């Protein structure tokens, strides 16, 4: 099996993908022996020597989990967490196995989507439970298949879980990178001469909302991976420690990156407000200057009461001409002010 981070499979299927049936696999001595066998045969394979079993359930109901629950002896509380939506990212220990809940992010049309994935980890069995087909499990399977000679007999199902966590954290890094690019776009818009205020406000709000959501599911990953790394708990084989340490480093990077982006977005919003204030001051300065220039002749003619005859004076035609001049000049001033974004 190649190092999972080296595989470049797309982790999301097309939107029209239907909910797939349960998938199963069994490895013996590190080699794939069978796949797509009935879930009811899991316990039979586990009774055999040097076997590691994987089961994937997509959008299951409680009845769908009853079979695998009976096969592995899962606690009803853990099963309830697996089918419940919006559980926090966490890891819980039970007798003989552990339950994990993580989130896979996806940036789509500028919005952050979160796909919930749960897993039951036993010594020689891994059960993944997806809330929907938004996360393509085939990407994970390809990582396992392309991994270079990993001894599953030595690492057990822990290596399968490592592949899942490594993929999840890599996708979280991709999501942070996409949000970072969005922050760069917002920064460019703020310092653009056009200064589209509404677009800047909309994208800034969406960016902050996405960052908060991503941070909420990414930060608990530290606790999840750190718990797996603890030697006293013996949840995974010691040989997996370097692999999980690499995942842990990536989780730290995701957390630090999201925190840095939050501060950056806050600074961008402050900068936008400051620039908008400066822009308003410039506009007021120009308008006030023109008003002062116009005020001088207006004050002089008003003080002396100047009302000299002009073409059309005291006639209907003169009234029409003056009215047209007033309307044309007003519309022209409105157009100039609108073009310069003073209105």
Query: 78 with 225, same domain?
Result: yes
19 pLDDT tier (thresholds 50, 70, 90)? low
Q: Which of 219, 248, 272 delimits the end of a domain?
A: 272
Lowest-pLDDT choice from 31-40, 169-178, 207-216, 282-291: 282-291
9 pLDDT tier (thresholds 50, 70, 90)? very low
Tell me if 37 is assigned to some domain: yes
Q: Which of 247, 272, 297 delimits the end of a domain?
A: 272
What percent of the chain has a predicted confidence (pLDDT) above 70? 92
Tell me if 31 is assigned to some domain: yes
CATH number for 90? 3.30.460.20
Q: What distance in Å separates the CA atoms of residue 174 and residue 5, rounded to the nearest whole number?
A: 12
Contact status, residue 71 vs residue 42, Cβ threshold 8 Å: yes
CB-based burial, 200-221: b 16+ in 10 Å, e otherwise: beebbebbbebbebbbebbebb
| Model confidence at 116: pLDDT above 90 | yes
Q: What is the edge-to-edge ordering of all strands in the sheet holding 23-28?
A: 31-35, 23-28, 51-58, 125-130, 111-122, 97-108, 90-94
Model pTM score: 0.77
| Positive or negative: CA dihedral 51, 56, 62, 67 | negative
* Segment 162-221, tens digit of pLDDT: 999 999 999 999 999 999 999 999 888 888 877 788 888 888 889 999 999 999 999 999
| Model confidence at 43: pLDDT above 60 | yes
* Segment 77-111, tens digit of pLDDT: 888 888 888 888 999 999 889 999 999 999 988 89
SS3 97: strand
Q: Which of 248, 272, 296 delimits the end of a domain?
A: 272
Query: 57 with 113, same domain?
Result: yes
């Amino acid at each position: 099996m190649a190092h999972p981070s080296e595989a470049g499979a797309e982790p999301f299927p097309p939107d029209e993908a239907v909910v797939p049936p349960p998938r199963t696999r069994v490895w013996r001595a590190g080699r794939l022996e069978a796949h797509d066998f009935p879930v009811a045969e899991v316990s039979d394979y586990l009774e055999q020597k040097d076997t590691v079993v994987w089961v994937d359930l997509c959008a299951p109901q409680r009845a769908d989990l009853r079979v695998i629950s009976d096969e592995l002896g899962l606690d009803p509380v853990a099963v309830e967490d697996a089918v419940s939506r919006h559980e926090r990212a966490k890891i819980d220990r039970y007798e003989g196995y552990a339950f994990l809940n993580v989130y896979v992010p996806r940036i789509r049309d500028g919005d952050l989507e979160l796909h919930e994935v749960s897993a039951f980890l036993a010594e020689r069995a891994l059960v993944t439970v997806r809330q929907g087909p938004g996360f393509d499990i085939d990407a994970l399977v390809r990582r396992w298949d392309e991994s270079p000679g990993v001894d599953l007999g030595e690492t057990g199902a822990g290596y399968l879980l490592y592949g899942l966590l490594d993929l999840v954290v890599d996708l979280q890094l991709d999501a942070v990178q996409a949000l970072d690019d969005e922050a760069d776009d917002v920064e460019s818009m703020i310092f653009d001469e056009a200064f589209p205020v509404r677009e800047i406000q909309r994208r800034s709000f969406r960016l902050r909302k996405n960052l908060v959501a991503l941070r909420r599911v990414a930060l608990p990953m530290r606790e999840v991976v750190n718990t797996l790394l603890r030697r006293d708990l013996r949840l995974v084989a010691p040989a997996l420690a370097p692999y999980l340490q690499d995942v842990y480093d990536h989780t730290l990077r995701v957390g630090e990156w999201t925190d840095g982006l939050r501060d950056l977005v806050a600074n961008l919003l402050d900068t936008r407000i400051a620039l908008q204030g400066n822009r308003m001051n410039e506009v007021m300065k120009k308008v006030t200057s023109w008003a002062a220039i116009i005020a001088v002749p207006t004050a002089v003619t008003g003080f002396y009461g100047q009302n000299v005859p002009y073409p059309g004076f005291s006639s209907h035609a003169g009234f029409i001409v003056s009215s047209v001049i007033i309307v044309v000049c007003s519309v022209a001033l409105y157009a100039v002010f609108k073009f310069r974004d003073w209105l």
